[in-house]
Each structure stands twice: as structure tokens, then as C-alpha cells.
Amino acid sequence: MAFIEAKKVKLQAMLSNTHEAYKVPLYQRPYVWTKDQWEDLFEDIKGLEDGRIHFIGSIVVPEGEHRLGVNYFQVVDGQQRLATLLIWLSAIRDTAKDIYNNQLAEHLTDFLFAKEWEGNRVRQIPKLKLGSLDDDAFQKVLEGKPSDSKHSIFECYTYFKDKTQDVNLWQKLLNNISVVHINAFNNFNSFRLFETLNDRGLELSAADLIKNFVLMSVSSDENIFNDTINE
């Protein structure tokens, strides 16, 4: 088996599989994108001509676990981009609700959640789970229950909600954005890729990279993570 598999996919293809979900490992940094990155992304996508594809970089995922009919992948690179795109998609969905376009709102919701099967019961689960510092806010956004607090997740949502009056932007978001989906079959390969791939977002410091590599090797227990990350 190859240790690394890479394929270029549109965002729609990546999110439309209801049997796949993603989660950010505990050792990853929190959501750090700000208005500068949001504006760049918005202008890039809004300005796309029909049929043009916008490449936004890579998403690195180790081979995932399988539970209740869902394959879970850990996102070790690209989580800032993926989280921002899902926040933007949530904002478009909520704008569709505001103008009573419930059919579109339901359609977009399908890209925000996967489906777990437990016997004959199906349960919606978020397409992406962030780290402990951000996930509560992020899940509220996906569920259509944003807050007016100063958390960066809510500020990101507000930015895209205010900017996206044209709900038809969802088509560019899903059909005109492509990523390289890189599946690395062990944590060492994932870390090496994460360390070396070019990233359009914010650069990591050497300390960030060392901390990530150390925490990748420890227990996934959240208490251990919190004790370590706060030192």
C-alpha cells in the first residue's frame, strides 16, 4: 500500500459524502484566521469567472477510524481553510432561511453534516469537529445558532453573513473551489507533510511544530492536552 495518496477534488465532492467526517486533533492550534484571511478568501471566490476553478491548497488527513457507518479523518493540515469554508457555507444557508428559501437551506445543510447509523436510527453529526477551544462555537454556527460573542468563530460567521447577500455564491463555493486531499497512512508522514507543505494561511513557529510533534505522540486524553498546551 502507498504511504501517501493525493487527489484533487472539488469542495462539493469532499463534503457530499455523508459517510465521511473530519476532526482536528487535540495537538493542533486553535482557529486563528482573522479578517485579513477572510477578505482574501471572499474576494478570490466572489471574483471567479464562471467555470474557473480556485485552488486553495492542501488538506492532509491520516487514514481514519470507522464508527457507526462513518469514516473519521484527522485533519493535520488545512483545518483553518476547511473551518472557514464551512462557516461561510453556514452563513449562506442562514441567509437562504432569511429569504424563505428553505429548499436551498436544507440542501446546504446536507454539506455541513454527516450521518451516523446506530441500528435503524440515524443521527446527524458535524462534518468537522474542531479542538476544545473552538468546537462549541463552531457547532453552534453549523446548527444555525450563532452568538454575538467576540469568539473568532462567531466573528468569522458575522463577516461572511454580512458580506454574502447573494445566496447563489454557494455554487462557486462548492463547485469552483478545489483542494488536494492528501491521505497519509501514518502520523509521521502526516507530520512531515504538515511541516513542509506551503500554506496560504498563517505560518507556524518552530515552537508550534515541536509542540505538535510531541503532542501527536501522547494520549488523546483531553486533560493531558490541556495541561500540556497551557505550559
Report which residue type is found at 12. Q
The larger pLDDT score, comparing residue 15 to residue 220, is at 15
As a whole-number percent, the residues of the chain with pLDDT over 70 amount to: 76
pLDDT, average across residues 69-74: 84
List, in order, residues 6 or more apart from 116 with CB less than 8 Å away. 67, 68, 69, 70, 122, 123, 124, 125
Q: If you average pLDDT over residues 171-186, what whole number do you get?
A: 83
In angstroms, what CA-CA distances link 101 with 74, 85, 145?
34, 21, 18
- The candidate with the shortest Cα–Cα distance to 109, out of 86, 133, 128, 93, is 93
Q: What integer is the mean pLDDT of 185-197? A: 54
Residue 149 has phi, psi (to 5 degrees) of: -70, 170
- What is residue 48's predicted lDDT score, i.e. its pLDDT? 84
Q: How far is CA 30 from its chain centroid?
A: 12
Cα angle 41, 37, 73; round to 5: 80
Q: For 90-148, what is each residue's pLDDT tens digit? A: 999 999 999 999 999 999 999 999 998 877 888 899 999 999 899 999 999 999 999 98
Contact (Cβ atoms closer than 8 angstroms) between residue 182 and residue 60: yes
Query: pTM of the predicted model, to two decimals?
Result: 0.80
**What pLDDT does 186 receive?**
58
Which residue is associated with the grid cell 502520523? 187
Residues 225, 40 contacting (CB under 8 angstroms): no
Cα(99)–Cα(94) distance, rounded to whole angstroms?
9
